[in-house]
Every structure is written in structure tokens, then in C-alpha cells.
């Protein structure tokens, strides 16, 4: 055995240890992505993860989705980093007979019901091409997943509410089945017991959206293979440097927008106070 064999081995051990330490530092400093970031959400529920999209939408609508057609144009992530208006987080055609869009919203920017109606109307009206009859329009569903409470819905039970157009008097006759809205409130779900969640597929998906690394989600993974696959897919996305960069850009754009709105509100308050003071003189 060469005399320097032992030293050579130690040297390599030192090199390997240094590499491992660097990797551990890299993993520790890497930002953990969340599905509530719309860049991550769109990457997660993309055309290549069709089975996850089916399971996710099925849990919301509480019906079996056997066929799904995804509009890939809604997943051109780079195109909406700085322009959220009018962009749908997820848009699909289901069982060749209805359309659905899903949006995740972290901050209450006001007029949320109106915003949902706007998204619904865009998806509904886009079906009618030149020369087509109104009778060819298909059922359209808009889903809003909110990380906050809507003031006018605080007295409603549960974390998910379903809305249709019904008559104002008897409140029994539905005007048309083509219109449907779902509003999901994540803060309410956090108050649910483990027993309730384990019996509710939609609650399990929403817990994953809210915090995929929670102890509850880890337990859910043991019995829900779709959630397990979603967690694994999210980990793969988390290792994608380009998605990391785009997600951070998206968060920065949202912070800048929130800061600009706050500045505008403060300026408006200051101007209003100056006007009131001037009137008192």
C-alpha cells in the first residue's frame, strides 16, 4: 500500500464533507415555494400533471372528471409576472361539456365578487365564436380560493360556498345551470378538526394549497396518493431555478403593487386632511 494512501483518503473525505456542507447550506437557504404563489400554482397544475388537475377539480366540484382539456396558453408563466389583470390561474374544459377556471388570491384587493364575475364572463363569452348560436354555450364555473375572509360572507357556515342564479322570492328556481361560482376561504379551514379533514377530499387539497409541509398534510399523504404525488411534484418544482426566480419576481411585483396602493391611499388621506383644514380657516 502506498505510504500516502491514508492521507489521500482523508483528503477526499474532507473534500466530500465540504461538498456535502455546501449542499446542505444551499438547501437550507433555498426558498420554499408555496402553491399559493400563482407562478407555482400554474406550474403545479399544468398540462403535464393532468391527473393532479383532475383530482383537484373533482374535489372542488364533487363529481368525477373523466376527460379534461387544458388551455396551455394560460400557463405561459413568464407573460404575467407583472400583469395579473385578466389572467386565469387555471382554465380547463371538463368532460367535453363545461368550462372551469380557478384563481388563488392571497390579498383582499377589494371587489372580489366582481372580479370573479369578470373572470367567469370572459370564459363564458369566449365560447361563442362568430356564427354560433347562444344555445351552444356550455356551463361555466369560476372558483376563487381566498386566503382571507370576505366580509359579507362571514356568517355563512363552512369554508366552501356554492353560488347560482335563483329567484329572489321562493329561492328555489334556478334561472340557468350555466352559471356557477365557488368561494373557498382558507382561514376557516384552519379551524377544522383532524377528523373532519380526513373525511373531506376537498379539505385535504386545500390544506395542501395552504401549507404543503404541515404535519396534517404528511398524515394525509399516507392515505391520499394524489396529495402524495402533489407534494412530490412540488418538491421537483422547488428544485427548478427558473421557477424559483419567476416566483420571486411575482412576489416582488405583488409587494410593489401593494406598496404603491398603500402610498396612494396615504396621499389621498393627507390631501383630504389638508382640504378639511383649509375649509376650517
Residue 131 has pLDDT above 60, yes or no: yes
pLDDT at 116: 93
Question: Which of 43-57, 135-149, 217-231, 251-265 comes out lowest in average pLDDT?
Answer: 251-265
Determine the pLDDT at residue 19.
47
pTM of the model: 0.76
- The two beta strands, 139-146 and 68-70, are unpaired
> Between these two residues, 77 and 114, which has the higher pLDDT value?
114
Average pLDDT over residues 258-277: 63
Work out the number of other CB atoms within 10 angstroms of the CB of residue 202. Answer: 19
Most confident of 22-26, 71-75, 252-256: 252-256
pLDDT-derived band at 152, boundaries 50, 70, 90 = confident
pLDDT per residue over 172-203, tens digit each? 899 999 999 999 999 999 888 888 898 999 99
pLDDT at 247: 79
b vs e for 3-12, b when ≥16 Cβ sit within 10 Å of the residue's Cβ? eeeeeeeeee
Burial of 273 (0-12, 13-18, 19+ CB in 10 A): exposed
Q: What is the mean pLDDT of the chain?
A: 81
Q: What are phi and psi of 177, to 5 degrees?
A: -90, 0
pLDDT at 204: 96
Look at residue 32 in the predicted model and tell me its pLDDT. Answer: 74
C-alpha radius of gyration, the chain, whole number: 24
Across residues 205-209, what is the average pLDDT?
A: 96
With bands split at pLDDT 50, 70 and 90, how would you rate the model's confidence at 280? Answer: low
Q: For 160-170, how does the pLDDT look when each residue is reduced to its tens digit (9 = 90+)?
A: 999 999 998 88
Asked if 92 and 68 count as a contact pair (C-beta separation under 8 A), the reply is yes
Instruction: Please report the pLDDT score of residue 244 as a whole number.
Output: 82
Cβ-proximal residues to 148 (8 Å cutoff; 6+ apart), any chain = 105, 106, 107, 108, 185, 187
Q: What is the mean pLDDT of residues 215-235?
A: 95
Helix and strand totals (H; E) in the chain: 10, 6
38 has a pLDDT exceeding 90? no
Spell out the alpha helix ranges (H) of the chain.
5-29, 38-44, 50-61, 112-125, 186-189, 194-198, 201-210, 215-221, 225-238, 241-280
Amino acid at each position: 500500500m502506498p505510504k500516502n494512501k491514508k492521507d489521500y483518503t482523508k483528503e477526499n473525505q474532507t473534500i466530500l464533507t465540504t461538498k456535502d456542507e455546501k449542499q446542505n447550506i444551499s438547501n437550507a437557504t433555498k426558498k420554499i415555494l408555496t402553491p399559493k404563489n400563482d407562478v407555482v400554482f400554474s406550474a403545479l397544475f399544468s398540462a403535464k400533471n393532468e391527473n393532479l388537475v383532475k383530482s383537484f377539480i373533482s374535489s372542488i366540484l364533487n363529481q368525477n372528471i373523466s376527460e379534461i382539456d387544458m388551455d396551455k396558453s394560460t400557463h405561459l408563466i413568464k407573460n404575467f409576472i407583472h400583469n395579473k389583470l385578466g389572467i386565469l390561474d387555471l382554465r380547463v374544459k371538463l368532460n367535453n361539456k363545461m368550462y372551469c377556471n380557478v384563481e388563488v388570491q392571497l390579498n383582499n384587493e377589494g371587489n372580489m365578487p366582481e372580479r370573479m364575475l369578470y373572470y367567469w364572463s370572459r370564459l363564458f363569452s369566449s365560447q361563442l365564436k362568430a356564427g354560433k348560436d347562444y344555445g351552444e354555450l356550455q356551463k361555466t364555473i369560476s372558483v376563487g380560493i381566498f386566503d382571507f375572509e370576505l366580509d359579507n360572507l362571514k356568517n355563512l357556515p363552512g369554508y366552501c360556498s356554492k353560488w347560482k342564479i335563483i329567484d329572489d322570492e321562493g329561492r328555489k328556481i334556478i334561472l340557468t345551470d350555466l352559471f356557477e361560482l365557488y368561494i373557498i376561504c382558507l382561514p376557516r379551514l384552519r379551524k377544522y378538526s383532524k377528523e373532519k379533514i380526513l373525511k373531506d377530499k376537498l379539505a385535504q387539497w386545500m390544506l395542501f394549497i395552504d401549507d404543503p409541509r404541515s404535519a396534517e398534510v404528511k398524515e394525509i399523504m399516507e392515505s391520499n396518493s394524489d396529495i402524495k404525488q402533489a407534494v412530490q411534484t412540488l418538491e421537483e418544482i422547488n428544485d427548478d431555478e427558473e421557477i424559483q426566480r419567476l416566483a420571486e419576481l411575482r412576489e416582488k411585483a405583488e409587494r410593489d403593487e401593494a406598496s404603491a396602493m398603500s402610498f396612494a391611499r396615504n396621499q389621498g388621506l393627507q390631501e383630504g386632511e389638508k382640504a378639511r383644514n383649509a375649509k376650517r380657516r
